[in-house]
Amino acid sequence: MATASLYRRTLPSPPAIDFASSEGKQLFLEAVQSGTMEGFFKLISYFQTQSEPAYCGLASLAMVLNALAIDPGRKWKGPWRWFDESMLDCCEPLEKVKATGISFGKLVCLAHCSGAKVDAFRTSQSTVDDFRKYVISCSTSDGCHVISSYHRGTFKQTGTGHFSPIGGFHAGKDMALILDVARFKYPPHWVPLTLLWEAMDTIDGDSGLPRGFMLISRLDRAPALLYTLSCKHESWMSIAKYFVDDVPCLLKSEDVKDIKNVLSVILSSLPTHFREFINWVVEVRRREEDDDQNLSQEEKGRLASKEEVLKQMQEISLHKHVQDFLSSEKSCRKTIFTRTENEDYLPEIAADVCCQGAGLLSGISGSSQFSCCQETGVKYFNVNGVKPVTMVSGTVVNGSGQQGVDVLVPSSQSELSCCGSDPTSDVGVYQASNDVLSLLTALLLALPPETWSGIKEEKLLQEVRSLVSTENLPTLLQEEVLHLRGQLQLLKRCVENKVEEDLGAPLF
C-alpha cells in the first residue's frame, strides 16, 4: 500500500502563534521596538528548509553559521565557500544522520569543528531563568544565536525530537520565536518561553539524557590556517586513539633518554592513513586560462597569514629537533611520510592535490572519482612583489569531462631536505620535506600537555615541556596549535563516547 503524501501540517494554536498571523505580526512589531529581534534579521537572511526529514540539526547549524559569516574554508559549489547541510559531514556520517538524525552532543561537536564558538547546556545543567537570559542576550545582538533541542509533543505538534534556531523574544509576553527549519511542516511560530523550556526538559531516548540549547557565536580568532583534522576516513577513530591514549602509554613504558628517543617513540609508529587524518587547508580555485597568476586580495591575505605561521613554526626549537630527527637515514626510512632517495614522487603529490581540489569544487568528498592526467605540475612565482606563491595545477579528467584546477599552497622554503630531496628543485618550493617538518611540529605542539607526564627522567621531562609549551608562541602559531588541540580533544571525547556528557569541558 502506497504511503499517503502530506502537504504541511496545521499548526496547533494554542499553544503556538503563527508568525504570519495578525497576532504573530503584532508580537513581532512590539519585539522589534523593544530591541529583542536584532538576531532575527541575520537569521532570516539565511533561513533555509532542511533538505531531509532528519536534517533539522544540520539545517539549523548551517543557517546559524552562515548568519554569523563564518567561512567554511572550503568550496561548496563552483567558486563559492558556503555552509550547506552537505558540508556538515564531520563527527557523524551524513548517511547515518539522514537515517536517524543527529544527537545533541554530536551537533555541538560539529559546531566546534565548523569553526564556531559554542556554549552548550542541557536542561539539567541550567535553569529556565538562565535560558531566558541567554535568549534575551542573543536576541538583542546579531553576533550570537541560540539553537534549541526540544520535543514537539509539548507543543501538540506531530513528531518527536527537533532542532531549530530561536529567532527572537517578546519580553512582555515572555515568548520566543522558533524559526522552524521544517518549513514543509510548520511555519515559524511564537511559543511561551516556559513551555519551550518544558519541551527541552525532556529525555532524548537515544542518549538517555535531557535535551537543551546551545549558544553559537564567532571565535575571536580565525579557524585553522594550515591544518585541520578529518574524521571522514574510516580509520579516524583508531588514529585519534593513538594520539590521545597510545602515545602517553608508549612514553611511559619506554625508557627514553633524550629528545630523539621521544620523537622516535611517537613518529616511528604513526598509524596508517595518518596523512589523510591531518589535512592541509588549501586555497582551491578553477584555473583562469588567461591569467592564472591573478590572485584576489582575499587569497593573498590568507596566503600571507599561512606563510607567517609557517615562518613562525620554523623558528621554534622544536622544529629544529624534528628536522634533525627526520634528516637521519634511519629515521627517514621509518617515517611513513618519506620515500626512497631515487623516487620522484612530487608529480604524485601534485596529482593527488589537484584531484582533491576538483572534488571540493564539484562538491564531492575525496578524489577517487577523478584522474589528474594532464598538465599536472607545480609553479612558483611572485605576485605584485609580495611573498612567493606556489601553485599546484592540473587538468582533472573524469567520465563526463575535464576541469582545470589550481591549488594555492604555502611556499616557505626549508633549509634541510629529508631523504635526499633537493630543496632547490625547479618544481618550486612545494616539497614533501617541508610539509613533513611543519606538520609534525604542529602535531607535537598540539598534543595535550598531559601526554608527556609519563617521561621518567625529570630533566628530560622539563626539556620536552619547554619545547612543546604554547605560552610563549607567537599569536598566529599559538592559535593554530590550540585549534588543532581542540580538535583532538573533541575526537577524544568521540572515541571515549563522552561527547554527550562533556558539553562544557574546555577544549584547550
Is pLDDT above 90 for 195? yes
Is pLDDT above 70 for 403? no
Q: What are 453-463's pLDDT values in tens digits?
A: 989 999 999 99
Comparing C-alpha atoms, which of 322, 323, 279 is closest to residue 445? 322
Is pLDDT above 80 for 3? no
User: What distance in Å separates the CA atoms of residue 4 and residue 1, rounded to the nearest whole number?
Assistant: 9
User: What distance in Å separates the CA atoms of residue 27 and residue 121, rounded to the nearest whole number?
Assistant: 28
Angle between helices 56-67 and 38-45 (to 10 degrees): 110
**HEC letters along 11-69:** CCCCCCEECCCHHHHHHHHHHHHHCCCHHHHHHHHCCCCCCCCCCHHHHHHHHHHHHCC
Phi/psi of residue 147, nearest 5 degrees: -110, 125
Beta-carbon contacts of 421 under 8 Å, excluding residues fewer than 6 positions away, are 431, 432, 433
* 54 burial type by CB count under 10 A (0-12 exposed, 13-18 middle, 19+ buried): middle
Enter the C-alpha cell of residue 345.
614522487
273 is catalytic: no
Rounded to the nearest 5 degrees, what angle is found at the Cα of 306, between the Cα atoms of 304 and 308?
A: 70
180 is catalytic: yes
Q: Locate cell 610563549: which residue?
A: 472
From 145, 162, 321, 483, active-site residue: 162
Q: What are 93-136's pLDDT values in tens digits?
A: 888 899 999 999 889 988 987 888 899 999 999 999 999 999 99
User: What distance in Å separates the CA atoms of residue 425 and residue 91, rounded to the nearest whole number?
Assistant: 40
Cβ atoms 203, 103 nearer than 8 A: no
From 56, 144, 332, 419, active-site residue: 56
Selected residue with higher pLDDT from 11 and 377: 11
Cβ atoms within 10 Å, residue 245? 13
373 is catalytic: no
User: What distance in Å separates the CA atoms of residue 110 and residue 231, rounded to the nearest whole number?
Assistant: 11
- Sign, CA dihedral 353-358-360-361, equals positive
What is the pLDDT, as a whole number, of residue 107? 92
Q: How far apart are the first and last CA of the chain?
A: 55
What one-letter code names the amino acid at 419? C
Is pLDDT above 70 for 371? no
User: What distance in Å separates the CA atoms of residue 480 and residue 352, rounded to the nearest whole number?
Assistant: 25
Cβ atoms 358, 371 nearer than 8 A: no
- Taking only Cα atoms into account, the Rg of the chain, rounded to an integer number of angstroms, comes to 25
Q: Please state the rounded mean pLDDT for residues 365-380.
A: 50
Which of left, alpha, beta for 178 (phi over 0: left; psi -120 to 50: alpha)?
beta
Of 75-79, 187-191, 353-357, 413-417, the range with the lowest mean pLDDT is 413-417
Selected residue with higher pLDDT from 197 and 265: 197
- 279's enclosing H/E stretch is strand 278-280
Q: What are 430-457's pLDDT values in tens digits?
A: 344 566 788 889 889 989 888 999 899 9
**CA 204 to centroid of chain Cα atoms:** 26
Q: Answer yes or no: pTM beyond 0.85.
A: no
Q: What are 213-255's pLDDT values in tens digits?
A: 999 999 876 666 777 776 666 667 777 788 888 899 999 888 8
What one-letter code names the amino acid at 303? L
**CA 310 to centroid of chain Cα atoms:** 20
From 138, 144, 151, 180, active-site residue: 180
Q: What are 329-340's pLDDT values in tens digits?
A: 454 444 444 433
In Å, what is the CA distance from 159 to each residue of 52, 59, 282, 448?
14, 17, 42, 42
Angle between helices 259-267 and 317-327 (to 10 degrees): 70
Q: What are 11-59's pLDDT values in tens digits?
A: 999 999 999 999 999 999 999 999 999 999 999 999 999 999 999 999 9
What is the pLDDT, as a whole number, of residue 390? 67
In Å, what is the CA distance from 286 to each residue of 212, 358, 400?
42, 8, 17
Q: Locate cell 637515514: which residue?
A: 329
Cβ atoms 391, 407 nearer than 8 A: yes
Enter the C-alpha cell of residue 458.
625529570
What is the pLDDT, as a whole number, of residue 345? 39
